[in-house]
Amino acid sequence: MITTLIDSPVANVANIARALRTVGAELQVTRDPDAIANAEKLVLPGVGSFIAAMCWLEENRIDSAIHAAVANGASLLGVCVGHQLLFDVSHEMGTTAGLGLVRGEVHKFEGSLPVPQIGWNRVQCAEGGDRTLFEGVENGVFYFVNSYAASNAPDEIARADYGGPFTAAVQRDRIFGVQFHPEKSSAAGLRVLRNFVSWT
Amino acid sequence: MDVIPSLDLLGGQVVRLLHGDFAKVTAYGDPESVLDSLDVPRGSRLHLVDLEASRSGRPIELDVVRRLAKRDLRVQVGGGIRSLADARAWIEAGAAKIVIGTVAADSPAILREIVDALGPDRVIAAIDVRDGIVRVNGWESDARATLAEVLARVEALGIGEALITDINKDGAMRGPSFALYRSLQTKLRIIASGGVSTLGDVVSLSRIRSVGACVIGRALLDRRMQLAEARARVATPNAIPERIIPCLDVRDGRVVKGVNFVDIRDAGDPVECAARYEAEGADELVILDISATDANRTTALETVHRVSESLFIPLTVGGGVRTIEDFRALLRAGADRVAINTAALRNPQLIADCAREFGVQAVVLSCDAKRVNDHFEAMVRSGKESSGVDAVAWCRQAEELGTGEILLTSVDRDGTNAGYDIELLRAVTSVVRISVIASGGAGALEHFRDAIESGGARAVLAASLFHDRRLSIGDVKRYLTGEGIPVR
C-alpha cells in the first residue's frame, strides 16, 4: 500500500520522508488535493504555528481532501503540529478550529518548566488503550519540540509528563496522531512509523 | 521528595545571620508575612530554627509556633533542645515535630527519654557534619560518636527522619553535599540541608535514594527559586531523561580534534562517526564546523547534509554562523538546530531575529567561557579572544533574546579530560531556566554525573573521549543509571 505524505511547506517533509522510506514505506509526496482524497494511508506532518499550518490546509483545499480520504476509510497519522491539527480546536494565538478528527483542544503548557519543551520524554501507553502504534515501544522515550499540547484528550492512547501530564498520542478509528517527532526519535520513532506503515 | 521551607527566628522575626554571627543580622520581617510572600501552602511542612534558643538553651519563640500551627502548617522546630521539658514545651505549643541536634549526637539517655515520652514520630535527629565528623554545640566541638554510630542509634530508637547538614555547604549557595548523602548507609529518611540553592540541586537530591526531603532557606528568601516550582520539578524527576551528546569537530569534511582549540588532528569520517554514535545511544549530535574560511563553508553544508541523511536523532550544527542566511542554509542542509557564537556576541539581535524566523527551538547559543580572575568571560573566534563580555550575564541575556538552549563550553577545560567546570555550570544554570549543555573537560564517568548533579546541566557533551573510544555512550548511560540519573 502506498503511503501518501502531505507535502506541507510548514513541515520538515524531507526528514519524515526519509524516515518513512527507511521503514519500508512506498512513498508518494504530494500536495494535490485529489491525490490526497484518494489516498489509503496518509501522513500529515507539521512544525511551527498551528494557525499557519491550518491556513495552508484550507487555502489549498487539503482539509476537505483529508476528510474525504478518512470518509473513504483511509488511515491517517498526524505528526507534531500535524497531530495538533487533528483536534477540534487550538488555543495558540487566539482560538483556531482544527480538522475535528479527534476530540479535544490544544493548549499552551502551563506550569514552571521552560517552554518550548525541547528534548526527550518518556511516553506511557494508556491502560487498555490501543497499542497498534506503540507495539514494541510501549514505554518508549521520544523526542519532542512543542509549546502546546492537548491534555486528557478523550482519544488519548499515550501520555507524557512535562510539568503535568499531556497527551502524547491519540487514536480514533483509523486516525492516529503523535505529538513527538518519530523521525528524530531514533529506533523508537522508526518503530512507531513502521507500525503505522505496516498496519492494515 | 518533599521540599521544606526553612526559617531562622530571632526576636520574633525571620532573620539570617552572616556566618552565624548574632551581630550581623539580615531581617526579613514577621513569619506570617514571610510565609505569605513565599507562597507556602496550607498543610506544608515548615522548618523553624529558634536561634536565641540555640544560644540560651531554652525555648524562646513558642508564640510563633503557636500562631503558625493554627495556620495548618506542620511545624518542625529546632534550636538548643536539651531536655524532655524543652521538647514537651514545643510540642504543647503546636509543633508537629522537634528537631534535636546535640542531644541526639552526644546524650543517648536524654534522647531515649524524649522518644519514650513523646514517641519516635515526634523526633527528627539533626546531625551536623564537617569533613565526615559530627559536630555539636553550635558546630563548636566534635561529637563523641561517629556519624555511623549516631545514625545507628537514632534508627534503633525508631526515629524515622534525620536532618543532615554539611556545615561546609550551609548558606554557601554552592550546592549541597551530594557525595555525603549518597554515601550514607541508613534506613532513615534523610532530610538534606545546607547549600541547596538551585532547582537543579533540588532535582539532584530527589534522585538520591536515602533523601526523602530537603530544607531550603536562603534560596527561597533571596528569591533564587520558587517553592511551587521546586515542588513541581521533583514531582516527576525521572520522566525527562538527561542527554548524552557526542560532538564532531569538522574541518574540510573530516572530523578533527584539538586540545584547547589548537593542535588539531584527524579523527575520521563524520557520517561513519554519526551513525556509530546513534547506534550507541546518542541522544543528539553536535557538529561544530571549525573551518575558518568561506570557501570551506560549502564543504561544511555538504557534510551536514550527508550526516543528516542517515541520522534519526536531532542534529545541532555550529561554527561560523554569521547571518540569518547562514542559519537558514544549515537548516536547509539538514540541521535541526543551529548554534551561534561570535556573531551573536557582536550582534545580539541575531538571536532574536533567528528565533522569530525559525522558532526558539532552532536557536542554540554557543558560549565559550574562560575564567578571568573571579569571573568568566565569553570568548570569540574559537576561544582565542575575549569579547570582554561577562559569560554568565551573556547567557542570561541570550535566554531573554530567544535562545532555546545554551551550549556552554569551558575553554580552560576543553580537551584536558580534567572534568567539566562545575563552578561555571552552576553560575549559568542558577540564572537561566532553559537547558544548559555542559561541554569541555569530560574525561571520566563521574564527570558526567557531576555536570548534571552538581552543575545543573541537562545534557553533557564530549568529543575526544568518545572518538578515542575510551568510553562509549553506553558506558556513560549505564553509569548514570546506577547513580540514579535518568537517561534514555
Is pLDDT at B259 greater than 60 in this prediction?
no
pLDDT at B171: 64
Of B346, B354, B412, the residue nearest B383 (C-alpha): B412
Is pLDDT at A128 greater than 90 in this prediction?
no
Residue B417: CB partners within 8 Å, gap ≥ 6? B441, B442, B443, B444, B464, B465
Q: Which amino acid is at B10?
A: L
Query: Of the residues B233, B260, B288, which one is the last residue of a structural domain?
Result: B233
What residues are paired with B107 via a beta bridge? Answer: none
Q: List, for residues A46-57, the tens digit of each pLDDT value.
A: 888 899 999 999
- Mark whether B397 and B430 lie in a shared domain: yes
Distance, CA of B47 to chain centre: 22
Query: Of the residues B176, B206, B233, which one is the last residue of a structural domain?
Result: B233
- Burial class for A61, CB neighbours closer than 10 Å (0-12, 13-18, 19+): middle
> How many domains would you assign to chain B?
2
What does B401-424 look like in DSSP terms, one character per residue? HT-SEEEEEETTTTTT-S---HHH
Q: Is B310 helix (H, G, I), strand (E, B) or coil?
A: coil
In contact, B99 and B163? CB cutoff 8 Å = yes
Helix segments in A23-164, DSSP class H? 33-37, 50-59, 62-71, 81-84
A with B: how many residue pairs have Cβ under 8 Å apart? 67
Q: What is the maximum span of chain B, computed from C-alpha positions, in angstroms? A: 83
| CB within 8 Å of chain A, chain B residues 354-383 | 359-361
Element (H or E) spanning B441, and its range?
A: none
**Contact criterion met (CB < 8 Å) for A122 and B241:** yes
In contact, A179 and A83? CB cutoff 8 Å = yes
Closest in B241, B405, B433 to A118, CB measured:
B405
pLDDT at B265: 64
Residue B258: band (very low, low, confident or very high) from pLDDT cuts 50, 70, 90: low
**Contact criterion met (CB < 8 Å) for B312 and A48:** no
Active site residue B263: no
CATH number at residue B86: 3.20.20.70
Is pLDDT at B93 greater than 80 in this prediction?
yes
Please report whether residue B373 resides in a domain: yes
Residue A130: CB partners within 8 Å, gap ≥ 6? A157, A171
**Contact criterion met (CB < 8 Å) for B336 and A111:** no
Residues of B in contact with A162 (CB under 8 A): 239-240
Residue A113 per-residue DSSP state: S
* More confidently predicted of B266 and B154: B154
Please report whether residue B269 resides in a domain: yes
Helix segments in B197-309, DSSP class H? 199-206, 218-221, 227-235, 270-280, 297-309
pLDDT at A53: 93
Q: Is B50 helix (H, G, I), strand (E, B) or coil?
A: strand
Q: Give which of B361, B434, B487 to mutate to test A binding, by max A Cβ within 10 Å.
A: B361
Please report whether residue B487 resides in a domain: no
Dist CA B409 CA B383 (whole Å): 9
- Mark whether B205 and B344 lie in a shared domain: no
- Mark whether B314 and B354 lie in a shared domain: yes
Is pLDDT at B182 greater than 90 in this prediction?
yes
Please give the sequence-ordered ranges of beta strands (E in DSSP) within B293-404, or none if there are none: 315-318, 337-340, 363-372, 375-380, 385-390
Catalytic-labelled residue, pool A58, A80, A83, A135: A80
pLDDT at A132: 92
| CB within 8 Å of chain A, chain B residues 260-289 | 278, 283
pLDDT at B240: 86
Is pLDDT at B6 greater than 70 in this prediction?
yes
Rg (CA), chain A: 15
What residues are paired with B48 via a beta bridge? Answer: B7, B77
**Contact criterion met (CB < 8 Å) for A114 and B433:** yes
- Give chain A's domains with CATH numbers: 2-92+103-198 (3.40.50.880)
- Burial class for B62, CB neighbours closer than 10 Å (0-12, 13-18, 19+): middle
Closest in A18, A114, A145 to B309, CB measured:
A18
- Mark whether B179 and B272 lie in a shared domain: no
Q: Give which of B312, B316, B364 to mutate to test A binding, by max A Cβ within 10 Å.
A: B312
- Mark whether B312 and B404 lie in a shared domain: yes
Please report whether residue B488 resides in a domain: no
In contact, A87 and A56? CB cutoff 8 Å = no
Dist CA B316 CA B296 (whole Å): 19
At A10, give phi and psi (nearest 5°). Answer: -100, 50
Residue B183 cell numbers, joined:
554515601
Q: What is the ipTM of this complex?
A: 0.94
At A110, give phi and psi (nearest 5°). Answer: -105, 165
Query: Of the residues B170, B200, B233, which one is the last residue of a structural domain?
Result: B233
- Mark whether B274 and B295 lie in a shared domain: yes
- Mark whether B255 and B176 lie in a shared domain: no
Interface residues of A toward B, Cβ cutoff 8 Å, are: 14-15, 18-19, 22, 47-48, 111-114, 116, 118-122, 141, 143, 145, 160-163, 183-187, 189-190
Is pLDDT at B293 greater than 70 in this prediction?
no
Dist CA A194 CA A55 (whole Å): 30
Is pLDDT at B236 greater than 80 in this prediction?
no
Q: Which amino acid is at A43?
A: V
Active site residue A181: yes
Residues of B in contact with A187 (CB under 8 A): 312
- Mark whether B21 and B110 lie in a shared domain: yes
In contact, B193 and B170? CB cutoff 8 Å = yes
Is pLDDT at B261 greater than 60 in this prediction?
no
Q: Is B467 helix (H, G, I), strand (E, B) or coil?
A: helix
Shortest Cα–Cα distance, A48 to chain B (Å) = 7
Dist CA B304 CA A22 (whole Å): 19
Please report whether residue B326 resides in a domain: yes
Is pLDDT at A113 greater than 90 in this prediction?
no
pLDDT at A10: 75
The residue range of the domain holding B20 is 2-233
pLDDT at B325: 94
- Mark whether B229 and B287 lie in a shared domain: no
Q: At what angle do helices B422-429 and B445-453 cross, to 10 degrees?
A: 30
pLDDT at B36: 95
Element (H or E) spanning B176, and its range?
A: none
Please report whether residue B24 resides in a domain: yes
Q: Which residue of A has its CA nearest to B364?
A: A118
pLDDT at B295: 63
| Cis, bond preceding B5 (omega within 30 deg of 0) | no
Give the Cβ contact number of residue A165 at 10 Å: 16
Q: What average pLDDT score do residues B176-190 get?
A: 94
Is pLDDT at B260 greater than 60 in this prediction?
no
Is pLDDT at B439 greater than 80 in this prediction?
yes
pLDDT at B1: 95
Closest in A22, A111, A161 to B239, CB measured:
A161
Of B186, B191, B114, B200, the residue nearest B156 (C-alpha): B186
Please report whether residue B238 resides in a domain: no
Of B411, B433, B245, the residue nearest B337 (C-alpha): B245
Residues of A in contact with B359 (CB under 8 A): 47-48, 116
Dist CA A160 CA A168 (whole Å): 6
Q: What average pLDDT score do residues B367-392 get?
A: 94
- Mark whether B319 and B174 lie in a shared domain: no
Residues of B in contact with A161 (CB under 8 A): 236, 239
- Mark whether B247 and B228 lie in a shared domain: no
Please report whether residue B413 resides in a domain: yes
Residue B288: band (very low, low, confident or very high) from pLDDT cuts 50, 70, 90: very high
Residues of A in contact with B239 (CB under 8 A): 121-122, 160-162
Q: List, for residues B118-139, the tens digit of each pLDDT value.
A: 999 999 999 999 988 999 887 7
Closest in B241, B314, B359 to A184, CB measured:
B314
**Mean model confidence pLDDT for chain B:** 92
Q: List, for residues B147-162, the tens digit of each pLDDT value.
A: 999 999 999 999 999 9
Dist CA A170 CA A159 (whole Å): 9
- Mark whether B324 and B217 lie in a shared domain: no
Contact of B243 with chain A, judged by CB distance below 8 Å, is answered with yes
Give the Cβ contact number of residue A20 at 10 Å: 25
Q: How far is CA A155 from CA A88, A100, A116, A168, in A?
A: 12, 12, 24, 11
Contact of B242 with chain A, judged by CB distance below 8 Å, is answered with no
